[in-house]
């Protein structure tokens, strides 16, 4: 038989048990939430000024700073790793990492395999060649494709620039490289006649380098079509919550001034585009 005092203790004990159970459940929920916010991000590390390896071995650049700011905005614990460009999408699909922040343009071809956030920048593609090049500019301000016949155009493999060059300069020889840096070196050593890439990548990799004064952008830049809708963050198709969170975070960075601070560290105009 329970005493009256013991009987009176039962509701208290039950309440304490329920409270402890609720606390344990809350802790488990928080722990699960924390685990779900650990994100690994891949960048190339060979596409200055967007991503590159600094002298101390750290990954730096516009892409890297944007990735860190986005992680802070969504309160995620992020690890940023280096990944060769050729394996960027396969690595994502193999779950080596959760997102790609590597100046990857949003194209219809890529959207068949992965999803993208909204753009976080959009700058034109251009062709750079020696100032004394025989490349001719048409009435529309763009390069006359016929004048590129027989010329060697260097592009990075598996990029929008490779696809565009093959489609628009059929008379040229398209030479592919594993990295933009290697293509730039071959242009400046005379093994190429021209380079096609993002305008800012070519400014940093050629025009601002020693000897860069001998080179120039040929005609107007190119946007849209095969070149895509701007650079976005790539995620797996099943990770729609992460995609949406990052898309909103990009807009939030634009609104709170963080984007401008990062932009102005690398560029003298707004690379977000129209």
The DSSP secondary structure of 210-240, one letter per residue, reads TTGGGEEE-S--B-SGGG-SSEEEEE-TT-H
Tens digit of pLDDT at every position of the chain (274 positions): 545 554 455 444 444 444 444 444 443 333 334 355 899 999 999 999 999 999 999 999 999 999 999 999 999 999 999 999 999 999 999 999 999 999 999 999 999 999 999 999 999 999 999 999 999 999 999 999 999 999 999 999 999 999 999 999 999 999 999 999 999 999 999 999 999 999 999 999 999 999 999 999 999 999 999 999 999 999 999 999 999 999 999 999 999 999 999 999 999 999 999 8
| Residue 129, in any domain of the structure | yes
Residue 60's pLDDT is 98
258: CATH:
3.40.190.10
Residue 36's pLDDT is 53
Residue 42 CB neighbours (<10 A): 27
Residue 274's pLDDT is 84
Same-domain pairing of 233 and 113: yes
Q: What angle do CA 178, 180, 104 make, to 5 degrees?
A: 90
Q: What pTM does this model have?
A: 0.85
Same-domain pairing of 139 and 221: yes
Same-domain pairing of 131 and 159: yes
Task: Give me the residue label for tokens 């977000």.
Answer: 272
Q: By residue range, what is the domain housing residue 211?
A: 125-227
Residue 74's pLDDT is 98
Task: Give me the residue label for tokens 């929008």.
Answer: 160
Same-domain pairing of 221 and 152: yes
Q: Do you find a cis peptide bond into 49, omega within 30 degrees of 0?
A: yes
Residue 37's pLDDT is 85
Please count the structural domains in the chain.
2
Residue 183's pLDDT is 98
Kindly give, in sequence order, each residue whose CB lies less than 8 Å from that of residue 260, ignoring residues fewer than 6 positions away: 270
Same-domain pairing of 210 and 251: no
Residue 28's pLDDT is 37
């Amino acid at each position: 038989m329970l005493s009256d005092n013991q009987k009176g203790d039962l509701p208290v004990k039950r309440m304490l048990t329920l409270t402890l159970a609720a606390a344990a459940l809350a802790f488990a929920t928080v722990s699960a939430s924390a685990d779900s916010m650990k994100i690994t991000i891949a960048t190339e590390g060979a596409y200055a000024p967007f991503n590159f390896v600094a002298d101390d071995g750290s990954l730096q650049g516009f892409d890297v700073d944007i990735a860190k700011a986005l992680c802070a905005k969504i309160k995620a614990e992020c690890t940023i790793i280096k990944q060769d460009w050729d394996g960027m999408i396969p690595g994502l699909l193999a779950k080596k990492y959760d997102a790609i922040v590597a100046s990857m343009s949003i194209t219809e071809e890529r959207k068949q395999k992965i999803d993208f956030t909204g753009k976080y920048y959009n700058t034109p593609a251009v062709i750079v060649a020696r100032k004394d090049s025989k490349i001719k500019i048409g009435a529309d301000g763009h390069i006359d494709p016929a004048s590129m016949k027989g010329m060697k155009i260097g592009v990075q493999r598996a990029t929008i620039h490779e696809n565009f060059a093959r489609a628009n300069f059929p008379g040229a020889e398209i030479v592919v490289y594993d990295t933009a840096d290697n293509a730039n070196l071959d242009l400046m050593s005379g093994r190429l006649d021209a380079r096609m890439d993002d305008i800012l990548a070519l400014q940093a990799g050629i025009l601002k380098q020693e000897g860069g004064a001998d080179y120039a952008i040929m005609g107007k830049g190119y946007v849209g079509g095969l070149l895509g809708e701007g650079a976005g963050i790539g995620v797996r198709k099943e990770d729609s919550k992460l995609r949406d969170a990052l898309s909103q975070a990009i807009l939030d960075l634009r609104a709170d001034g963080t984007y401008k601070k990062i932009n102005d560290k690398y560029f003298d105009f707004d690379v977000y585009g129209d």
